[in-house]
Structure 1
């Protein structure tokens, strides 16, 4: 039997296995993957490396494994024959790029669970090739779709998460990252040594993707502490670009509240500086850790807080000046530290802080006054006289965008100034208020459902399942008292901080 007929026969054998029980299908697909890896190792596929039509024999939707392995061989062959790591055939619009895009848009997610390493290498190649061709948006779209196809929940943090958000920032295609950014990350790829209660059949239905998105599967490269911090910093920057300040605060808060023994990383300091500015944009004040969405006070030690405040002193001063409501002093502080904002690449955020000064000040006045004339409002906000014609449109815009709960009353005598009457949340139409609450409750319920599903898997990983608790009552405890992780698994999170002490 020739190699070609043997390959076709092996693929057909898998097609006829779809109706088999999961454990039998699992055995056949593992055998097929091992067969293809042997062919790749022995270079038996070299004869097809230059045959462009060979891939036409396979449908990536049902022959995902053969298609993926042959495509990888052809890509490697092209790279070997060219000095450029990303030759024209691999770049966007190239022949092999088109094949890769076809595969990533239609592959069978169950089959690829068994060839995670090969899948990841193709995803990384697509991302890197798009960067080399200065078309990161094309790569970002393919990477995003591939991630959601393999794991719709995106609950397991992988190196592809970081790749995607980098591509989206480079392409300034911020909305492209949202289908993944908006997902809740609950796990890291675990290593070998799982509990015996976990099903080992990858093709079976799993309650959580952590069961098949493992370290051994190769779907992620080695993850470091820095990767995790960078993902949430970049994610926060995506939300900042979209002016979703609340979500940006949440992501930045995760970075600055990461446990630290003696010092903090440069990434954490950068996140803190942005966190201060975003707090002004969202809340109109300097947000302290007790008010933050993510970490409780016990996570961030007083020492770390002092380090942040020392290294971000110009930002703290700016925030306090903003809170005092003096626009003249605010502009003076901004001008005095212009070199700092520029070096930190935060000029855009600082400019938005000035732009939002008016709206945040007006909102604060609503907590003190029941009503103000436009003339009085201008005096309260600006140090120098400003015509009502200037503040009137700005106030109207705030009311229409629902940023300000107030009513602008036009007097009959146009010689007199218009009146701004502030409203409390309780004075809003009851139906509108209840609809907003109902929408928020639905979102929170979906979030809780996601967390509960993944909490059960985490309990199993940590030995906290009901079965384990029952075993404790029966005296079935771990054999070694010094064993930290009874499951033998690891988080896959490698401590590799770029500490402030390394700056010297």
Structure 2
């Protein structure tokens, strides 16, 4: 019986010579995993033929259920939309692909992930062609979740999704995937872009600590895409000044020699800003900003630079809390180099709201009273928060130990390590990204992302 079934399948494979026959096979063989595996082989062999029949494929999609026949539907859809289309036709394509993404089953698309990625990237391209990135955000999020085998996996669609979030300024939506701990990825290039775009999204939502973490990964990556790394380094400098009030120009010991060699050369105005900031003098900082204003503006970083200037005022006010118990708003303005008492009040109120200082303002006499941190770290909510953080760190530690053990026995890793040890060259630099369209996207991202505060 099994032999006869195999013979019938072989005959079926040889008889796929018409689109109607292929549709019948898709409908019949989409019921269980064994049949789906066989169908996958048939579809792979029919790939070139489907491409040659692009103009006749649209009616076939109406005969298939994208939920029940996801694998076959995917192959036909990918071939159908691969042909060049006009801007007027793009809207219809977006609707078709979005419906498929929402309806398809993850089990079936995992049999042809490269086809699914191709369809989703085509979808993203058409969204950008129409200049409507927001239309692509929700479908792309659904697509990457279906493509993932676990929340720890980074897919090729993660950077595409974050790019759409940036262009549509959907920063909060982009944050939804940045909370995941990533341990598994196929292409380093995808991780590189994920961290770069993710860092920019966190800046847009003022999640500066997370932004620093992601941008740090870009700057210290062993394999550099130099033009993106240089832009990441500039933002890394600015966010460090805003969030930490300082920046170290020395690189961590694990940073590649290529990063040490090239990144500072591309960032001289930003390093000059660091020197001015370190003096603690507002006048010197503002002079540096004016001197390099054209460069900051052309990099689309002027908004962040303005936040750096604002952060220096806040640092000066924070220093006052260590010395004084009470001060008038006018004294704060004088000591922090602010123009008026009203401006000092505005900064103090903002810092209180953001939890940067603890103080009360007496509006009647214009006096500010600085207070101690009221958090005693003994409430049930705080204990639960600390316990949750400890548990997460323990889980990450175990995960990293397991990964380290697996890597130490991996033959490919051992070969690469031996090769690197023999030639004493650990640097690998790319001058251009692997995706041909990324330079244009970076320009668009920058233009949509100049944060003026």
Task: Say if 2:81 is the partner of 1:75.
Answer: yes
Higher helix share: 2
Matches within 5 A, 1:84-123: 84-86=84-86, 88-89=88-89, 91-92=90-91, 94=92, 96-123=93-120
The partner residue of 1:32 within 39, 47, 53 is 39
Residue correspondences, number: 408
**Following the alignment from structure 1 to structure 2, what is the Cα–Cα distance between the partners of residues 131 and 302?**
36
**Following the alignment from structure 1 to structure 2, what is the Cα–Cα distance between the partners of residues 398 and 73?**
56
Q: CA deviation at 1:360?
A: 2.8
Residues 220 and 259 of structure 2 are in contact (CA less than 8 Å); yes or no, is this contact kept in structure 1? Answer: no
Matches within 5 A, 1:466-481: none
The partner residue of 1:337 within 292, 299, 305 is 292
Q: CA deviation at 1:376?
A: 2.2
**Following the alignment from structure 1 to structure 2, what is the Cα–Cα distance between the partners of residues 461 and 368?**
52
Q: Which residue of 2 aligns with 1:65?
A: 71
**Following the alignment from structure 2 to structure 1, what is the Cα–Cα distance between the partners of residues 300 and 54?**
52
Residues 325 and 381 of structure 1 are in contact (CA less than 8 Å); yes or no, is this contact kept in structure 2? Answer: no
Q: TM-score, normalised by structure 1?
A: 0.70
Residues 359 and 370 of structure 2 are in contact (CA less than 8 Å); yes or no, is this contact kept in structure 1? Answer: yes
Residues 66 and 443 (structure 1 numbering): CA distance in 2 closer, same or farther, change over 3 Å?
farther
**Following the alignment from structure 1 to structure 2, what is the Cα–Cα distance between the partners of residues 351 and 338?**
10
The partner residue of 1:245 within 192, 195, 208 is 208
**Following the alignment from structure 2 to structure 1, what is the Cα–Cα distance between the partners of residues 64 and 397?**
39
Task: Say if 2:384 is the partner of 1:428.
Answer: no
Q: CA deviation at 1:256?
A: 1.4
**Following the alignment from structure 1 to structure 2, what is the Cα–Cα distance between the partners of residues 332 and 299?**
35
**Following the alignment from structure 2 to structure 1, what is the Cα–Cα distance between the partners of residues 367 and 238?**
33
The partner residue of 1:138 within 101, 121, 135 is 135
Which consecutive unaligned segments of at least 5 residues does structure 1 have? Answer: 18-24, 190-222, 291-296, 465-477, 487-493, 500-504
Residues 368 and 267 (structure 1 numbering): CA distance in 2 closer, same or farther, change over 3 Å?
farther
Q: CA deviation at 1:368?
A: 3.7
Task: Say if 2:236 is the partner of 1:275.
Answer: yes
**Following the alignment from structure 1 to structure 2, what is the Cα–Cα distance between the partners of residues 279 and 109?**
41
Residue-by-residue CA offset, 1:278-319 (whole Å, 9 max, x unaligned): 0111112224668xxxxxx32137895575445433323322
**Following the alignment from structure 2 to structure 1, what is the Cα–Cα distance between the partners of residues 394 and 174?**
22
**Following the alignment from structure 2 to structure 1, what is the Cα–Cα distance between the partners of residues 103 and 310?**
46
Q: Which residue of 1 aligns with 2:3?
A: none
**Following the alignment from structure 1 to structure 2, what is the Cα–Cα distance between the partners of residues 399 and 43?**
64
Which consecutive unaligned segments of at least 5 residues does structure 2 have? Answer: 1-11, 13-17, 419-426, 433-453
What SS class does the counterpart of residue 57 from structure 1 fall into? coil
Residues 199 and 214 of structure 2 are in contact (CA less than 8 Å); yes or no, is this contact kept in structure 1? Answer: yes
What SS class does the counterpart of residue 46 from structure 2 fall into? helix
Residues 377 and 383 of structure 2 are in contact (CA less than 8 Å); yes or no, is this contact kept in structure 1? Answer: no
What SS class does the counterpart of residue 372 from structure 1 fall into? strand
The partner residue of 1:255 within 189, 214, 218 is 218
The partner residue of 1:357 within 312, 323, 342 is 312
What SS class does the counterpart of residue 407 from structure 1 fall into? strand
Residues 4 and 305 (structure 1 numbering): CA distance in 2 closer, same or farther, change over 3 Å?
closer
**Following the alignment from structure 1 to structure 2, what is the Cα–Cα distance between the partners of residues 74 and 308?**
44
Q: TM-score, normalised by structure 2?
A: 0.77
What SS class does the counterpart of residue 88 from structure 2 fall into? coil
Residue-by-residue CA offset, 1:344-384 (whole Å, 9 max, x unaligned): 22111111222333323222322343443323222210166
**Following the alignment from structure 1 to structure 2, what is the Cα–Cα distance between the partners of residues 311 and 73?**
43
Task: Say if 2:400 is the partner of 1:400.
Answer: no
Q: CA deviation at 1:167?
A: 2.2
**Following the alignment from structure 1 to structure 2, what is the Cα–Cα distance between the partners of residues 6 and 165?**
37
What SS class does the counterpart of residue 184 from structure 2 fall into? coil
Residues 399 and 258 (structure 1 numbering): CA distance in 2 closer, same or farther, change over 3 Å?
same
**Following the alignment from structure 1 to structure 2, what is the Cα–Cα distance between the partners of residues 47 and 390?**
65
Residues 359 and 368 of structure 2 are in contact (CA less than 8 Å); yes or no, is this contact kept in structure 1? Answer: no
Residues 258 and 428 of structure 2 are in contact (CA less than 8 Å); yes or no, is this contact kept in structure 1? Answer: no
Residues 286 and 320 of structure 1 are in contact (CA less than 8 Å); yes or no, is this contact kept in structure 2? Answer: no
Q: CA deviation at 1:188?
A: 2.9
